[in-house]
A and B are shown apart, each in its own frame.
Chain A
Amino acid sequence: MLEDTAANGAAASMRNGVKIYGEGTAIVRALDGVSADFARGRFTAIMGPSGSGKSTLLHTLAGLDNLTEGTVHIGDTELGSLKDRELTILRREKVGFIFQAFNLIPTLNAEENITLPLSIAGKDPDEAWFNEVVSAVGLEDRLDHRPAELSGGEQQRVAAARALVTRPDIVFADEPSGNLDSKAEAELLAFMRRAVDDFSQTIVMVTHDPIAASYADRIVFLDDGDIVDEMVDPTVDSILEKMKHLGE
C-alpha cells in the first residue's frame, strides 16, 4: 500500500515510527510502528481516542520531538540526522503550526505575529501573499491589535495566517478549533479548506471532532499508537458511523 521511499512525492512521511516514553514498568509506547504518507495538496485529519498517540504523531512528524525508532521525512529531508539548529531552520522554512492554545506572542500585534517566522529568519514578507492570506482569514482591520484584544476565533485565525505566511511544505494543526465556539470553528476550518483548495497547501490536523474532520480529504484513525483505519472524502455521518465500528 505504501511506497518504501522517501521521495514518493509526499509532503511528509513516517516509516515504522516508534515513540517510547518512560522507563521500566512505567513504559508507554505512544507510537507503535506507525507508517504513513501525507500527500501534497491534501487536507488530512488524524482521529482517535484520547491517549491514542495523535499529538505524539504530529510532534514527531513536525520535528518538534524525535522518534525512538523509525524515520520521518519532510519533503526529501530525513529529520533524524538533523541537529537542533538545522531542525529549527527546517521548522521555520518548511513547516507551519497551529496549536490548540497559546499560539501567539502577547507582546506582538497580529501583523507581527503573522510575520514572526519570517522576522526570525530575517526575511521580508512577500507583500502580495501576505495580503492574500490576511484577507482570506478576514483580519485586514485587526492587524494592529495585540492578542489580548482579539477573540479566541480571531487568535486562531492569526495563528493560521502565520502558519501559511512562509508558504510551508506542510502545516500541522493540533486540535486548532478545540477551544472555539461553532461559528468560529466553522470560519477557521473553512479557511483551512480554502488554503488547500485555492493555495494548494498541505495540512495535517489532529481532531476528535467529527465535524472538524469532515473538512478533510482523508482521515487516519489511530488507536494505541497505531493506525487502525483510513477513510477518504469523509462526511460527518460516515465518520460517526466509522467511529461506532471502531469503538466495538
Chain B
Amino acid sequence: MLRAALRGVIVNKLRLVLTALAIVIGVAFVAASFIFTDTINARFETLITDISAGVDVYVRPIPPETGNDLVEFGSIPDEILAQVKAVPGVRVAEGAVAGYAQFVGADGDPVGGLGPPTLGFSWTTTSDLNPMTIAPDNGRAPTGPGEVVSDLGTAETAGFGLGDTVTILTLGPPEQFEVVGLANFGSEDNLAGATTAAFELEEARRLFDLEGSYVEISVAAEEGVDAETLAADIDAATGGEFDVKTTEAANADQLSEIGEALGFLNTALLAFAAVAVFVGAFIIANTFRIIVAQRTRELALLRAIGATGGQVTRLVVIEALVVAVIASVIGVFGGIALALLLAALMNAIGFNLPEGPLTIAPRTVVIAMTVGIVVTVVAALLPARKAAKIPPVAAMHEELARTGRKPLRRRAAAGAVVTTGGVGLLLFGLFGSVANPLLLVGIGALVTFLGISILAPLAARPVASTIGWPLPLLFNITGLLAKENTARQPRRTASTASALMIGVALVVFVAIFAASIKSTINESIFDNFRADLNASSTNFQIGISPTFAEQLAELDEFDTVSSLVFDTASLEEGGTDIIVVDPLLAEEVVNLDPSPGAFAALESADGVVVSSTEMEDNGWVVGDTIVMGFPKEPETQMEILGTFGNADFGQYILNRDFYNTVYDNPFDSLVLATVAPGVDISEARVAADAIAEPYANVQIQNKDELVAEIEGQIDALLQLIFALLFLAIVIAILGITNTLALSIIERTREIGLLRAVGMTRRQTRRMVRWEGVIIALFGAVMGTGIGLFLGWAVVLALADEGLGSFAIPWGQIAVLVVASGVAGVVASIYPARKASRMNVLDAIAYE
C-alpha cells in the first residue's frame, strides 16, 4: 500500500508541486515568526549580558506605575551612593544619570528616533561597570562641559567623526558638543540601533535637569560575595526605597519587556501564517478531491482486487502525508530565509537588530512541521474518505463513481449553521465583553469563511452564470463554453474561488478599516483644531522642548500659542488617557467642547474635567470626588469641576500647572498657534519655521499637512499588510492554475472534439482563460461581500473607541476586483497553453 501511495505521489508530481507550494508558504510563515522572535530575544540577551558583564547589582528608582515611562525616570538622591558604597561586600559602585539626547546629522535632520530610542547618559568612569569601551585610537572619555562620546554606529550613520562638533537636542535649546571619543558596546558598535550620547556626569545632570541625583547606581561585589545577598543588604541599607536587583534579575526584567514588545510582532506574523495555512488547506482539499476523482478507476480496481475501503483511504492519506512532510521540510527552510529577510527589512527601516546567528529552536521546527502535516492530512481526509466509498464496479463503469454526492439541502443546512456560528462568534467578540476579543473575532472570521465556502457551491452556478453572461455575447461559443464549464462543476469552482475569497475579503476589510480611520482622523483634525498651525515632534518618545512654545509666543505674528500634553493616569479600574491644557487658552486653539465654566473652574482650582460619556458610564455628577493616580502622587482626590464633549484625545482633562507638580515631564506633545489678525498664514509660518529650525525634532504643519502626514503613515502600514496578504492571494492563484490544469486533463476528449470540429488553438486558449477569469471574479465577489461585512462590523464595534466614520474605498475595491480578473488570466496561462497544445487524436482515441 505504501508503495502504491508513493507511486501516486510520483505520478501526480506536477499537480502536487503546486499544492505543496501552498503548504510551504504557510509553514514558512509559522517557522519564520518563531525563528525571528527567538533570534531577536537571543541577540538582545547576549547584548544585555555583554553590557552588564561587570555589574552585580543595580539600584534604580522604583518605576512609576503610570505615566509615560520613557520620559519619567524618577531619581536617586546623591547621598544614597555613599550609603551603597558603605555596605560590606561592595567593591565598587558608581551612579549614572540618563535622559533624552538626540544627535543632529550634517544635513540638519535629527538622527534616529523613529524606532530604537535616542539615549543620553553620563559616562561611567569605573571601566568594570561601564557598558561602553573606547578603543585606544578612538579618543577618550568625556571629562567636562561641551564634550560628548558617541557610539561608533551612530557616528557612522550620522557622518561625524572624532574631533567634530555636533549639535545635540536635549530638554533645553539645542547645544554644540565636541566628539572626544567613539565607543563600542561589548562586541557591537551600537546598542541595538539606539543612538547613544555619553557626557561627563555633571554635564549630563545639567542637560537632563537631574542636578544632585542619579537614575541608576551600578555595583560590583567583592570576590566571593553572593549577588543576591548583597542586593538584599543594599536594599536594607537604603531603606527599601529603591528597586535593588541583581544583574541577573534586572536583565530578566528587561528581556521580558523586550519579549512583550516583540510579542505583538510574533502575533502579527502568526496571524498571517494562519491566513496562509487556511487558504492552503482549501487548495490541498481541492487538489486531493480532483486527484481522487481522476483515479476513480484505479482506486476501484484496487477495491475490486480486494483492498478494503479503509486501505483506499489510507492510500490517499499516505500520499498526503508524503507531500506534507516534504513540503513542511522545505517550508522550515523557507522560514529561515523569511526570518533573514525580515531582519534585513528591519535594518533597512532603521531598526538595527544586534548581530548574531539565527536561533532555530527545536520547538520551532516541531510546531511548523506539525502545522504543515496536520493541516495537509486533515484537508486530504475528506477526499480520502470519499475515495473509500468508490464501489469496485466503478472500475468498469466510470459513471457509477459520480454518485453519492451530498444532497444540496444538507449542504445548505450545514453551510448556514457554520456561517451563522462564525458570524455569531465574530459579533460576540466585537460587541460582547470577553477576555480576548481579538482571538474570538479571528476565529469567528475563519469559521465564517468556512461556512461561506460550504455554501459557495450552491451559489456557483447562478453566480458564474451571472458573471459570465456577457461572455457568449462577446465571444460567442468560446464564451458560452467557458461560462458553462465553470457552472458544471460548482463544487470545484466554488472551492477554488473560496481560496481567493479569503485573501480578497481580508484586503477589503483592511482597506475599509484604514479608510475609516483616515476619514475619522480627517474629520477630527478639522473639527478639533482651531489653531492655524501646529507643531509636533518627529521623535515619538519625546515631545517638544518647552522653550519652543515660549519662543513662539514672543512672536508678533501669533495671537495665541498654547500647548497640549497627552499622557496617561491611573484610575481604580486601570489606566486612562489624559489631556493636559492651559485652561485659559485651550478654547482658542482646540475644540474640546467643555461645559460652560468648566475651564474657568479648572484654572482656579485643582481638579479634573471629565468627558460626558465617562460621567454617564460611571454615574458621576459635577462636584463628585474621584481618586486618580499620578507618578508622584499615587492616590489623589480629584474634584470633578466640569465635563467636556469631545473625547477624541482622552477622557480626562488636567490643568498644566497641576500636571507639572505630579508628573516629571516638561515636554509638550503639541504646540498650537493661531495667527494674529491681518497676518498672512504663510508669513507666520516662515517666522515659526525660523524658531523651529534649531529644534531638529520639531515640525510645523497646517491642518492639511497634518492630515496628509497621518494618512501617509497609515498608507505605509497598509502597504506592508497588503504585501503580506498578497501572499495569500498568490496561493489562491496557484489554486486556480491547479484546478484549471486538472480540469483540462479531465476534459481531454472534449477539447479534442472541439479541436477536431474546428476550434483553433487561440479559441481554445481564450475559452480556458475566461474560465479562469470567472472563477477569480467569483472569488473576488464573495470576498468583497465578506470584507464589506467584516469592515462594517469592526468599524461599528470600534465606534466607542472614537472610530466615528465608516468609509468604503470603492476605488480600491474596484481595482482589487479588476486585479482579481487579471489574476485569473495569469492563473490560466499555463492551463490554456496546455489545452491548446493537446493532441487531437489522443482526445478522440477510443480503446
A interface list, Cβ under 8 A from B: 59, 64-65, 84-85, 88-89, 91-93, 97, 99-108, 112, 116-117, 119-122, 162
Closest approach, in angstroms, between the C-beta of A125 and any C-beta of chain B?
12
The answer to whether A101 touches B846 (Cβ under 8 A) is yes
CA distance A41 to B762 in the complex (A): 34
- Taking each of B488, B755, B756, B841, which has the highest tally of chain A beta carbons within 10 Å of its own beta carbon? B756
The answer to whether A88 touches B759 (Cβ under 8 A) is yes
Taking CB atoms, residues of chain B closer than 8 Å to A64 are: 756, 840-841, 844
The answer to whether A85 touches B760 (Cβ under 8 A) is yes
Interface string of B736-749 (1 = CB under 8 A from A): 00000000000001
Taking CB atoms, residues of chain B closer than 8 Å to A93 are: 758
The answer to whether B477 touches A120 (Cβ under 8 A) is yes
The answer to whether A119 touches B846 (Cβ under 8 A) is no
* B754 at interface, CB cutoff 8 A: yes
CA distance A106 to B489 in the complex (A): 12
Taking CB atoms, residues of chain A closer than 8 Å to B755 are: 88
User: Provided the pairs A99-B844, A105-B481, A119-B476 are in contact, do residues A89 and B760 lie with their beta carbons within 8 angstroms?
Assistant: yes
The answer to whether A120 touches B759 (Cβ under 8 A) is yes
CA distance A112 to B480 in the complex (A): 10
The answer to whether B758 touches A102 (Cβ under 8 A) is no
Which residues of B (733-777) have their CB < 8 Å from a CB of A?
Answer: 749-750, 753-763
CA distance A103 to B762 in the complex (A): 22
* B128 at interface, CB cutoff 8 A: no
Closest approach, in angstroms, between the C-beta of A148 and any C-beta of chain B?
10
The answer to whether A102 touches B753 (Cβ under 8 A) is yes
Closest approach, in angstroms, between the C-beta of B338 and any C-beta of chain A?
43
The answer to whether B759 touches A106 (Cβ under 8 A) is no
Closest approach, in angstroms, between the C-beta of B695 and any C-beta of chain A?
73
Interface string of B480-491 (1 = CB under 8 A from A): 110011011000
Extra inter-chain contacts (19) besides given A88-B755, A108-B484, CB under 8 Å: A85-B761, A88-B759, A91-B756, A93-B758, A97-B757, A99-B753, A99-B756, A101-B846, A102-B749, A102-B844, A102-B846, A107-B484, A107-B488, A116-B754, A117-B758, A119-B480, A120-B477, A120-B478, A120-B757
The answer to whether B761 touches A99 (Cβ under 8 A) is no
Taking CB atoms, residues of chain B closer than 8 Å to A106 are: 488, 750
The answer to whether A97 touches B476 (Cβ under 8 A) is no
Closest approach, in angstroms, between the C-beta of B837 and any C-beta of chain A?
10
CA distance A112 to B757 in the complex (A): 13
A-B contact pairs, 30 of them (CB 8 A): A64-B840, A64-B841, A85-B761, A85-B762, A91-B756, A92-B758, A97-B756, A99-B756, A99-B844, A99-B846, A100-B846, A102-B750, A102-B753, A102-B844, A102-B846, A106-B750, A107-B484, A112-B477, A112-B480, A116-B477, A116-B757, A117-B757, A119-B476, A119-B477, A119-B480, A120-B477, A120-B754, A120-B759, A120-B763, A162-B757
CA distance A89 to B754 in the complex (A): 12
Taking CB atoms, residues of chain B closer than 8 Å to A97 are: 756-757
CA distance A162 to B754 in the complex (A): 12
Query: Which residue of chain B lies nearest to A55 when distances are taken between CB atoms in the complex?
Result: B845
Closest approach, in angstroms, between the C-beta of A187 and any C-beta of chain B?
21
The answer to whether B749 touches A91 (Cβ under 8 A) is no
Which residues of B (483-509) have their CB < 8 Å from a CB of A?
Answer: 484-485, 487-488
- Taking each of B753, B757, B759, which has the highest tally of chain A beta carbons within 10 Å of its own beta carbon? B757
CA distance A102 to B846 in the complex (A): 9
- Taking each of A92, A101, A105, A121, which has the highest tally of chain B beta carbons within 10 Å of its own beta carbon? A105
The answer to whether A88 touches B753 (Cβ under 8 A) is no
User: Provided the pairs A59-B841, A102-B846 are in contact, do residues A121 and B484 lie with their beta carbons within 8 angstroms?
Assistant: no
The answer to whether A92 touches B484 (Cβ under 8 A) is no
The answer to whether B758 touches A89 (Cβ under 8 A) is yes
Query: Which residue of chain B lies nearest to A96 when distances are taken between CB atoms in the complex?
Result: B757
CA distance A122 to B762 in the complex (A): 14
Taking CB atoms, residues of chain B closer than 8 Å to A92 are: 757-759
Closest approach, in angstroms, between the C-beta of A154 and any C-beta of chain B?
17
CA distance A104 to B749 in the complex (A): 10
CA distance A127 to B840 in the complex (A): 30
Taking CB atoms, residues of chain B closer than 8 Å to A120 are: 476-478, 754, 757-759, 763
Which residues of B (390-409) have their CB < 8 Å from a CB of A?
Answer: none
CA distance A115 to B456 in the complex (A): 33
Taking CB atoms, residues of chain B closer than 8 Å to A162 are: 757
CA distance A4 to B833 in the complex (A): 41
Query: Which residue of chain A lies nearest to B845 when distances are taken between CB atoms in the complex?
Result: A55
User: Provided the pairs A107-B481, A119-B476, A119-B477 are in contact, do residues A91 and B757 lie with their beta carbons within 8 angstroms?
Assistant: yes
Taking CB atoms, residues of chain B closer than 8 Å to A59 are: 841
Query: Which residue of chain B lies nearest to A105 when distances are taken between CB atoms in the complex?
Result: B750
Which residues of B (651-683) have their CB < 8 Å from a CB of A?
Answer: none
Interface string of B828-847 (1 = CB under 8 A from A): 00000000000011001010
The answer to whether A103 touches B753 (Cβ under 8 A) is yes
CA distance A59 to B758 in the complex (A): 14
The answer to whether B761 touches A84 (Cβ under 8 A) is yes
CA distance A207 to B844 in the complex (A): 16
CA distance A84 to B758 in the complex (A): 11
Interface string of B625-636 (1 = CB under 8 A from A): 000000000000
Taking CB atoms, residues of chain B closer than 8 Å to A84 are: 760-761
Interface string of B459-492 (1 = CB under 8 A from A): 0000000000000000011101100110110000
Closest approach, in angstroms, between the C-beta of B472 and any C-beta of chain A?
10
Closest approach, in angstroms, between the C-beta of B740 and any C-beta of chain A?
16
- Taking each of B476, B477, B485, B763, which has the highest tally of chain A beta carbons within 10 Å of its own beta carbon? B477
Taking CB atoms, residues of chain A closer than 8 Å to B749 are: 102
Taking CB atoms, residues of chain B closer than 8 Å to A122 are: 476
User: Provided the pairs A106-B750, A122-B476 are in contact, do residues A65 and B841 lie with their beta carbons within 8 angstroms?
Assistant: yes
CA distance A116 to B841 in the complex (A): 19
Closest approach, in angstroms, between the C-beta of B556 and any C-beta of chain A?
80
Closest approach, in angstroms, between the C-beta of B655 and any C-beta of chain A?
77
CA distance A106 to B763 in the complex (A): 18
Indicate which residue in B476, B481, B488, B760 contacts A88 across the interface (CB closer than 8 Å): B760
Taking CB atoms, residues of chain A closer than 8 Å to B758 are: 88-89, 91-93, 117, 120-121
CA distance A54 to B844 in the complex (A): 15
CA distance A116 to B481 in the complex (A): 11
Closest approach, in angstroms, between the C-beta of A149 and any C-beta of chain B?
14
Closest approach, in angstroms, between the C-beta of B481 and any C-beta of chain A?
7
Query: Which residue of chain A lies nearest to B477 when distances are taken between CB atoms in the complex?
Result: A119
Taking CB atoms, residues of chain A closer than 8 Å to B762 are: 85
CA distance A59 to B846 in the complex (A): 13
CA distance A43 to B846 in the complex (A): 24
Taking CB atoms, residues of chain A closer than 8 Å to B754 are: 105, 116, 120
The answer to whether A108 touches B481 (Cβ under 8 A) is yes
Closest approach, in angstroms, between the C-beta of A173 and any C-beta of chain B?
12
Closest approach, in angstroms, between the C-beta of A211 and any C-beta of chain B?
21
Closest approach, in angstroms, between the C-beta of B480 and any C-beta of chain A?
8
Which residues of B (788-847) have their CB < 8 Å from a CB of A?
Answer: 840-841, 844, 846
CA distance A162 to B477 in the complex (A): 15
